[in-house]
Amino acid sequence: MRTSGWLPATITAVVATTPHARVLTLDVPAWPGNAPGQHLDVRLTAEDGYQAERSYSIASWGPGTAVELAVDEVPDGEVSPYLVRDAQPGDMVEVKGPLGAYFVWDAADTAPVQLVAGGSGIVPLLAMARAHDVLGSVAPFRMLYSVRSPEDAMYRAEIEALGRRSLELTWVYTRRAPDGWGGTVGRLTPARVAEATWPPERRPLTFACGPTSFVEAVASALVAAGHDPARVRTERFGGT
Amino acid sequence: MAVFTRGFGSRRRESDPRVPPGQYVTEDFPVLSAGPTPRIPTEDWTFGIRTEDGAVRSWTWDEFMALPIETVETDIHCVTRWSKLGTTWRGVSLDTLFAQVETSAEHVMAHSYGGYTTNIPLDDLLDGRAWVAFEFEGEPLAPEHGGPARLLVPHLYFWKSAKWVRGLVMHEQEDPGFWEQNGYHIHGDPWTEERYW
C-alpha cells in the first residue's frame, strides 16, 4: 500500500487521560484503515501558513475513519502542547499514513506476545491489545506497563479491564505506587523484566515502546535473558 | 483547499534554512532502532566490502584506525522528523575505502551486526559525502547510536546511515533494505521529502 498524501482530519473528541496527556479522536474521511501498531504524521497549519509536522502512534486499529491518538505533552514542545491544551472538537489538522510495516502485530499470528510499555509508549501497544481482545485471538498476550505513578498511566481503566479479560498485566511504578500496593517501587531491573515477561522458551514476539533509556534497558535485559534479538521489536522516543 | 488549524502557531520556532521541509530541530539525540542494540567489541569487529565477483576487501579495527581519518561537521535528518544541526563526527571516508576496491556495480547494500540492512546507490557514497564513523562529539560512538562504527551519509535521511555497520555488498540492481521493505522510500533525500513508499 502506498502512503497517502495529506488527508484532512477533523478532531471529534478530546479526553484527558493523564494530567499531561490527552486522547484525541479524529475523523479522517479518506483514512484507509490501519494495522495495530502503525503510526501517522500530523501536520498543523497556522492561519498565516506556518506549518509543523510530527509523528504519532495510533491507538486505534482496523477499518473505519475514526483514528485515535494519545498525545503526551512534551515540556517545551511546539505541537504537543497545542494538541494537549488547545485543540478542541471541530478543529482541523491533516494526517499522512498509516506508516510503518514492522512494529505491527499480525492478528493471524498465534505466537505468544509480550508488550512492554514505558509511559506514552503504551499507545501502539494498546492498539495491539485492543485488536487481540476484540478478535478473540488465541495468542497468549502479556503486558508490562511502566509508569512513574498511578496518575501517569494512560488508559488506566481500559488496560485494567483488558488485564481482567484477555491479557496478563504487570504494572511497574518507578516513583510512586498506589496506596496498598505491595510490590517494589523503582526502575525496572533485569530480574523484574524476567519475572514479568514470557520466558525465552516460549519464543514470544516482543514489542517494546517507550523512552530511549527505558527501551534500551528492557531490550538488553531480554537479550541477556536468552530471547532471540530478532523477536524483540522496538520503538524509542526522546534522546540520549 | 487549505486546511488551517485554529489557534495553532503560538509556540513556533524560528525557521532555519539548514532544516529540510517537514523537519524540526532537536537538541538531544533520539534513537530509531528496530530492535535491541547489539554489542560488538572492537577486537571482534571487522568491516568488509564484497564486490559483484565475490571478492572481499576487509579491515580489522586496528587496520581501520590506521586509515586516514576525517573530521566531519554536518547536520543530520531523521525521517521521524527531527533534525540535529552542527554535529561533529570522525571517521573514514568511503572514498578511501572504495579506492581499494574494484567494482562496476552501481548499488550498495549496507549490512549491520544484528541483521539490519539498507540500500544506497554507490554515487551517494562517493565524493566526500559518506563515511564510516566511530566518534561523535569527541567520544567513541555509543552503542545505541551505532557504535563501534556506523555509516554516516548525512545528505540522506538517517536510516541510511546504518548503525553497527559491518560491511557493504555491491549489487547490480537496486534491491530494498530493511526499512525500504517496511515503508520507507527507496532513496531518502530529505530536501525532496523522499520519506515513504
Residue B122's SS3 state is helix
* H or E element at residue B111: strand B107-112
Does A99 contact B183 at a Cβ distance shorter than 8 Å?
Answer: yes
| pTM score | 0.96
Label residue B1 by pLDDT band (50, 70, 90): low
For residue B60, give how far its alpha carbon lies from the nearest alpha carbon of chain A (Å).
Answer: 25
pLDDT: is A203 or A182 the higher one? A203
- % of chain B exceeding 90 in pLDDT: 97
Close Cβ partners of B177 (under 8 Å, ≥ 6 residues apart): B109, B110, B116, B117, B118, B119
Q: Is A17 part of the contact surface with chain B (CB cutoff 8 Å)?
A: no
Write down the pLDDT at residue B165: 98
Q: Mean pLDDT score of chain A, rounded to an integer?
A: 96
For testing the chain B interface, which of A40, A106, A214, A236 should be mutated: the one with the most B CBs within 10 Å? Answer: A236
CA-to-CA distance for A93 and A51, rounded, in angstroms?
11
Q: Is the pLDDT of residue A1 over 80?
A: no
Q: Is the pLDDT of residue A185 over 80?
A: yes
B31: nearest Cα among B164, B156, B195: B164
- Contacts by residues A23-26 (CB-CB < 8 Å, ≥ 24 positions apart): A23/A59, A23/A68, A23/A69, A23/A70, A23/A154, A23/A155, A24/A68, A24/A69, A24/A70, A24/A71, A24/A83, A24/A87, A25/A66, A25/A67, A25/A68, A26/A66, A26/A67, A26/A68, A26/A69, A26/A93, A26/A95
CA-to-CA distance for A67 and A76, rounded, in angstroms?
26
Does A44 contact B182 at a Cβ distance shorter than 8 Å?
Answer: no
Which chain B residues contact residue A51 at CB under 8 A?
Answer: 22
pLDDT digits (tens, 9 = 90+) for A10-68: 999 999 999 999 999 999 999 999 999 999 999 999 999 999 999 999 999 999 999 99
CA-to-CA distance for B93 and B69, rounded, in angstroms?
7
Domain annotation for chain A: domains and CATH numbers? 7-99 (2.40.30.10), 113-237 (3.40.50.80)
Q: Is the pLDDT of residue A83 over 70?
A: yes
Q: Are B156 and B180 in contact (CB under 8 A)?
A: no
CA-to-CA distance for B132 and A127, rounded, in angstroms?
38
Write down the pLDDT at residue A231: 98
- % of chain B exceeding 70 in pLDDT: 99
Q: What is the ipTM of this complex?
A: 0.94
Does A239 contact B28 at a Cβ distance shorter than 8 Å?
Answer: yes
pLDDT digits (tens, 9 = 90+) for B124-171: 999 999 999 999 999 999 999 999 999 999 999 999 999 999 999 999
The shortest CB-CB distance from B5 to any of A3, A46, A229 is to A46
pLDDT digits (tens, 9 = 90+) for A161-172: 999 999 999 999
Q: Which is it for strands B46-50 and B165-171: parallel, antiparallel or unpaired?
A: parallel
For testing the chain A interface, which of B1, B4, B8 should be mutated: the one with the most A CBs within 10 Å? Answer: B8
Label residue A239 by pLDDT band (50, 70, 90): confident
Q: DSSP string spanning B65-89? A: HTS--EEEEEEEE-TTSEEEEEEEE
Across the range A148-153, mean pLDDT stands at 97
Q: Is the pLDDT of residue A4 over 90?
A: no
Q: Are A15 and A23 in contact (CB under 8 A)?
A: yes
**Size of the A and B interface in Cβ pairs below 8 Å:** 130
Close Cβ partners of A152 (under 8 Å, ≥ 6 residues apart): A18, A119
Q: In what order do the strands lie in the sheet with B165-171?
A: B56-60, B46-50, B165-171, B107-112, B117-121
Across the range B178-182, mean pLDDT stands at 97
pLDDT digits (tens, 9 = 90+) for B12-34: 988 899 999 999 999 999 999 99
Q: Is the pLDDT of residue B76 over 70?
A: yes
Place of cell 498525545: A71
Enter the DSSP assignment of A226: T
pLDDT digits (tens, 9 = 90+) for B101-132: 999 999 999 999 999 999 999 999 999 999 99
Q: Is the pLDDT of residue B193 over 60?
A: yes
Report the chain A residue with the minimal C-alpha distance to residue B9.
A46
Label residue A76 by pLDDT band (50, 70, 90): confident
Q: Is the pLDDT of residue B2 over 80?
A: no
CA-to-CA distance for A110 and A124, rounded, in angstroms?
19
Q: Is the pLDDT of residue A134 over 80?
A: yes
- Cell triple for B148: 563501534
- Cell triple for A38: 502503525
- Which stretches of chain B sit within 8 Å of chain A by CB? 1-13, 22-24, 26-38, 80-81, 114-115, 142, 144-145, 178-179, 181-183, 195-197
Longest pairwise C-alpha distance within chain A: 58
Label residue A2 by pLDDT band (50, 70, 90): low
A186: left (phi over 0), alpha (psi -120 to 50) or beta: left
- % of chain A exceeding 90 in pLDDT: 95
Q: Are A160 and A169 in contact (CB under 8 A)?
A: yes
Longest pairwise C-alpha distance within chain B: 61
Q: Is A233 part of the contact surface with chain B (CB cutoff 8 Å)?
A: yes
The shortest CB-CB distance from B35 to any of A44, A234, A237 is to A234
Q: Is A2 part of the contact surface with chain B (CB cutoff 8 Å)?
A: yes
Close Cβ partners of A229 (under 8 Å, ≥ 6 residues apart): A219, A223, B35, B36, B38, B114, B115
The shortest CB-CB distance from B31 to any of A53, A222, A240 is to A240
